[in-house]
Amino acid sequence: MATLAKLKLAMGTSIFLIALVFAVFLSAIMLILNFPLFYAIILTLLFILFQFLLGPAIVRSSSRLYYLRSGENLWLETTVKELSKKSGLSMPKLAIVPDETPNAFVFGRTSRSATLAVHEGLLTKLNKEEIKGVIGHELGHIKHKDFIVMTVLSALPLLAYIIARGTWSAARFAGSSSKKKGEGSVKAAFLAIAVISYIVYIVSLLCVMRLSRLREHYADAYSAYITSSPQSLQSALAKITYGLSLSPKPPSGARALYIGDPGMAKQEIRYVMEKKGEYDLDKDGVLDEKELEIAMEKEAKSAWTKINTWFATHPPTFKRILLLREIEMEMASGRYTNDRVYAYI
């Protein structure tokens, strides 16, 4: 039976593995460039600090959110306050994102200074119980403090990617410049660093994405517990996935923060629609709720989907719904207790 300790262990393991990979990575780069390792460590720590300190400001600016004044949305404010109190959390700052897609996210440097941002599309396209389920999910992220860990960890794959792109461009420039003695060795050094950096980027990204998917399951389970209504979040996730799949906008760079990833939503619905004839059981030309459910279940089990999921920030929607259904059945049986919040993860 999974417990919160499993998530903490996963976060600790991810931090250790990525730190180890980066230690080897930096050592290799410094060896190739014949520089002291100390400089690389200092620069990496500064980059992580930069991400940690400026990350929230970047999210605020890129999402164009605005903070709610007290009493501006009384129902939302009251609901968040009630669930925060039940969770034993400080009331997060509330913000609205002027975006018609149904989504929500939390960000910040600490649990006490966290911001819970809700898209306008979520408030208009979901009913109050579904919105409550989404709020419970986001409070789960604050409760687990995983959004802080993700902010720090996501800086390292980004750094590896920046180094890879920079050294690859430098190698191309070195190859096209005038011939000088030693130019070939410089180009070889840049190419070696670029290849190593790309490998580190992929390995570290896989670790970060795996943790991102796991924390979504924990936040879903927490929402079921804190709202006592797994069905509300099930319905919300289905609407969010469908709504995001229709969005003409490209996915945001902060995809891991959201309750739903627009890129993955488009992919999930596209796979289903490509096999519409197979899943349209009554041949009426429309996939009803039951047919869509069967389609999503089958697609979630396919080998291609599983491989694709390795680089996904979120688990397939059906797997999230399946977890909530298992919790719902246990709640209905009367056997559900507070120590079984994460039992089905």
Instruction: Give the active site residues.
Output: 138
The Cα 228–Cα 327 span in angstroms is 10
3-state secondary structure of 327: helix
Q: Amino acid identity, residue 120?
A: E
Give the DSSP letter of residue 248: -
Burial 197-221 (b: 16+ CB within 10 A, else e): bbebbbbbbebbbbbbbbbbbbbbb
Residue in this structure with the two tokens 């990979």, named with its chain if needed? 21
Given a contact cutoff of 8 angstroms between Cβ atoms, the answer to whether 99 and 119 are in contact is yes
The Cα 2–Cα 344 span in angstroms is 7
Tokens representing 270?
A: 């596209």
Sheet holding 66-67, edge to edge: 66-67, 93-97, 115-119, 104-107
